[in-house]
Amino acid sequence: MTMSVAAWMAAQVLVAAVAFGCLWRASVSAEPSVNSAHQWLATVAIVWGGSFAVGEALPGHGLAASLTIGGLLALAALAVLCAAVAALARASQPPSPAAGRPLGRGAGPALTQLADGCLVALALFVVGWAAFYGSAYHKAGVSAGGFALDLLHPVTDLVLLGAIMAYLGASWRRSLLPWLALLAVTLADSLAAPARISGVRPGLGTELAQLAALALLAACALPRDRVDRLLAAARASRAWPGASTATAAAATVAAALTTIGWAAGGGSVTDPVVVITGGLAALVLVARVAGVAWYERAATQAWQESGRAFLELAERTSDVVVLCDLAAIVRYASPAVARFGYRPEAIEGTPLSALIHPEDRLRGARVIRSATLGPPGQTTHFSCRIRSADGTWHHLESSLARYREAGGDNLLITARDVSDQVALRRQVTHLTFHDGLTGLPNRAYIEERAKSAAQRAAAGRAQGAQDAAIFIDLDGFTGVNDSVGHGAGDLLLAQAARRLRNVVPAQHTVARWGGDEFAVLVESGANAQETVDIAERLAGAIAGEPFRVAGRDISLTGSIGVALAGSNPPEHLLRNADVAMARAKVAGGRVEIFNAQMHADVVRRLELASELRRAITDEELELEYQPVVELATSRVVGVEALVRWTSGETVVPPAEFLSVAEESGLIGALGEQVLRAACAQAAAWHASGWPTGISVNFSLRQVSREGFADLVLGVLAETGLPPAALTLEVTERVLVDGAAVIVDALARLRRHGVRLAIDDFGTGYASLAYLRQLPVDIIKIDPSFVAGLGTDATLAMLTATIVRVGRDLGIAVVAEGIEQPEQLEMLRGMGCGLGQGFLVARPMGARGIEVFAGPMPGGTAGEPVPEAVAAPEAAAAG
Ligand code: C2E
Ligand code: CA
Ligand code: CA
């Protein structure tokens, strides 16, 4: 063994060992799917290394060299290499039914692959024969069979090289390196063939090719991203369909040319090897062509079959199926188009756009374009209106996709008539956002609308435009319901809604807020003056002429609140208009415009109400008593109970918390507490020997409450106060507005001996004529009359008249608010029996008032009030 032989052997074994090591390590760290492939490649490396070294050390002689153990092992290693390449290719395919098939196309890919491999091998063999096998054969003088056996290695290499070439198309990144390794071995085996026949050592070319093969195997162990980077430069098409077929065809052409060249150059065409190889190539080629023809036929049949299935499906489905060409001209329409009044044949040739609603056309054109340009199989959805034969419009939901047919590309459209659903949806929306009684939009609608107007304003659009809201409440509508019934009340609301809608320009929203309240959203374009004009017109629409329902004319007025967006946050528009309306209602004016103070008032009153509720529960309210005196004698004949509330440190004026109590309904509980405390106090005074009368104030709301008379009688019984000692003070409104039930309740109490006083007489609409409806015991002349005594002759005359009429009717008269001695003098002169006022005595606590009591336990009777002038006269009160 020479030094160079030993060196080559050492080099081959070393490179093989390195390749083995690298591949084995990669098999442990790599993805599981390629683990075994790397192990197989490692095995191939070690077998190749061994057989190359043996070939180096013991160059075989002819024939036998192919059949040594090393030779056979090298052949087996080829099979292992192919399996490894197949596994690598499979690992990089997406998991699909076709996964693992190299060029998964139709039937028999394995056969196709083998045929292409054979064609490549045979063709390259012919070329190789012309290049150097032929001359080696002639020189060696061995039999054809023996020579063929010697060519076993290179030919097997060639066949497998062609066969696994298909995997290059499927996943070239993974199969390229093993394939190149096989190419190097093929080269080495081809170069070694003549040397083997001659029994000499393989030449330098063979040795280098073998080393290259081992190095390429080792490179297979490189991590994938490194391989990717290395191969980035040699970027080729990912998909490489028919690569093996193309290579086989090119190789066959090269073989044919070589054969012609060989014959023309004087070589023997009848040379058996060339004849057999050429014949085989032709046979394989014929088989391959037959396979292609068969495949084409099967494909055409499949097309036709799927076309038939498509038609059958299209004819049966209730959806409309339309095929258009890529210019959107209808080529086929399914019988379901009959539901739009069309015959299928009649609309073939019609452009799709002619059927689509003009407003949907632009969108439609866009969708069609994107469907025709998009990849086949991608579905686009589109809703539009379609004209039917009778000119009506139908709502369709459709899906579009490119559809490939033997004749070319089409647009496949399937569509469903959803007109019924659309109509239903509209109806539901209408019901959700409209008021059934008036047909106007409802509260939900106008709130939504106001919200989006606010968003528009916030976004800075609608510049310069004033949005405004108007609230309208019908005054006294509850009374209408009570007097003519709810049915007629509904009718009146519907009439009111029509009137309101008629006076508001169409671009603004008029809605029913609920009950007898309506709201108007004045939108962009109206300035403050126009808004107020609209509000005035709304007021006129309600008050202008009476409503005619249930055969009666009913006159109503409306309280109207206006909120302008200018100075208020737009999202509070409706709420502010509501606040302004409440103010209009209280103020009695027709139109109120919201200002920020109103909202603060509302908040304060709400807070006050909740504090008052607590104060009532905790019995924090107190009573003061103001004496009522006999003017002639200055003797105290009774006291008026007046409620007081100190919330924390602050004294809340009665007018303020009483109106809150009225509004919130707390007045019921409050009044009950006052009545009970006042009666208990009076009863205590009676028990102590001072049989004073006591007056308690009641509002309309209090006396209207069910069971009012029972409550009063109950408290009297509880406290043991004689009914005649109690005077109920009610205002004139009770007589004017009071329903029959109130009059009945008060009359019943009077029959029990309870006395009735009309408070603040002269301020309302009451005239003495009302007194016939409900007999009263006392009238209290309002302080505004007394204040005018001595300065206003008319007031003096009116006061004198009230005093005289009272006396004539046998009703006691109390003058309230006496502050000046002259007033007292004049009242005495008029013959007014009783009086009350700061001049006589201020309201004070029970302890203070007892000074005027008599006879007190251990005290003297009837202390006269200091200012009073003695003139004994029978008192009516007490
Ligand atoms: P009213 O029934 O007219 O009560 C008389 C009011 O006039 C009291 O005011 C009293 O302090 C005040 N007053 C008495 N003399 C004079 C005077 O010489 N000059 C002036 N300027 N005022 C005088 P107050 O206590 O603020 O009560 C106001 C109103 O609150 C009462 O008017 C009454 O209508 C109502 N009220 C008071 N207590 C109750 C109650 O317990 N229940 C109900 N429902 N209302 C009450
Ligand atoms: Ca009073
Ligand atoms: Ca009064």
Helix (H, G, I), strand (E, B) or coil at 227: helix
In angstroms and rounded to an integer, the radius of gyration of the C-alpha atoms of the chain is 57
From ligand 3's centre to the CA of 611, what distance in Å? 26
**Can you give the pLDDT at residue 301?**
83
Pairing verdict, β 547-549 and 635-647: unpaired
Q: Name residues contacting ligand 1 (CB within 6 A).
A: 626, 642-643, 654-655, 658, 671, 674, 697-699, 702, 729, 759-760, 783, 817-819, 836-838, 843
* DSSP letter (8 states) at residue 589: -
* ∠ CA 561-563-568, rounded to 5°: 150
**Can you give the pLDDT at residue 30?**
64
Whole-number Å distance between alpha carbons of 474 and 585: 9
From ligand 2's centre to the CA of 760, what distance in Å? 7
For 667-819, where are the alpha helices, taking DSSP H only? 667-687, 700-704, 708-719, 732-737, 740-751, 783-788, 793-809
Could you give phi then psi for residue 522, rounded to 5 degrees? -90, 115
From ligand 2's centre to the CA of 697, what distance in Å? 5
Judged by phi (left if over 0) then psi (alpha if -120 to 50, else beta), residue 349 lies in left
* DSSP letter (8 states) at residue 691: -
**Cα dihedral sign for 16, 22, 24, 26?**
negative
User: Exposure string (b/e) for 139-167, b if CB count within 10 Å is 16 or more?
Assistant: ebebeeebbbbbbbbbbbbbbbbbbbbbb
Contact 334, 412 (CB under 8 A): no
Distances (CA, A) of 539 to 207, 532, 576, 590, 595: 112, 11, 18, 7, 20
Q: Which of 121, 147, 153 has its CA nearest to residue 134? A: 147
Whole-number Å distance between alpha carbons of 343 and 335: 7
- Pocket probe for ligand 1: among 626, 642, 656, the residue whose CB has the most ligand atoms within 8 Å is 642
Whole-number Å distance between alpha carbons of 565 and 454: 9
Contact 142, 108 (CB under 8 A): no
Amino acid, res. 123: A
Whole-number Å distance between alpha carbons of 829 and 799: 12
Contact 497, 515 (CB under 8 A): no
For the chain, residues with pLDDT lower than 50 are 94-107, 233-241, 462, 464, 855-878
Amino acid, res. 376: P
Contact 539, 560 (CB under 8 A): yes
Contacts of residues 139-143 at CB distance under 8 Å and 24 or more positions apart, as own/partner, are 140/62, 140/197, 140/198, 142/62, 142/63, 142/197
Q: Which ligand lies nearest to the CA atom of residue 729 in the structure?
A: 2
Q: Count Cβ atoms below 10 Å from residue 770 Cβ, excluding itself.
A: 17
From ligand 3's centre to the CA of 863, what distance in Å? 25
The single residue listed with the structure tokens 């070393």 is 14
Question: pLDDT tens digits, residue range 654-671?
Answer: 999 999 999 889 999 999
Whole-number Å distance between alpha carbons of 719 and 721: 5
Q: Is 748 exposed, middle or buried (0-12, 13-18, 19+ CB in 10 A)?
A: middle
From ligand 1's centre to the CA of 610, what distance in Å? 23
* Closest residue CA from atom 44 of ligand 1: 698
**Can you give the pLDDT at residue 858?**
34
Q: Which ligand lies nearest to the CA atom of residue 695 in the structure?
A: 2
Contact 346, 333 (CB under 8 A): no
pTM value is 0.46
Q: Which ligand lies nearest to the CA atom of residue 626 in the structure?
A: 1
* DSSP letter (8 states) at residue 625: E
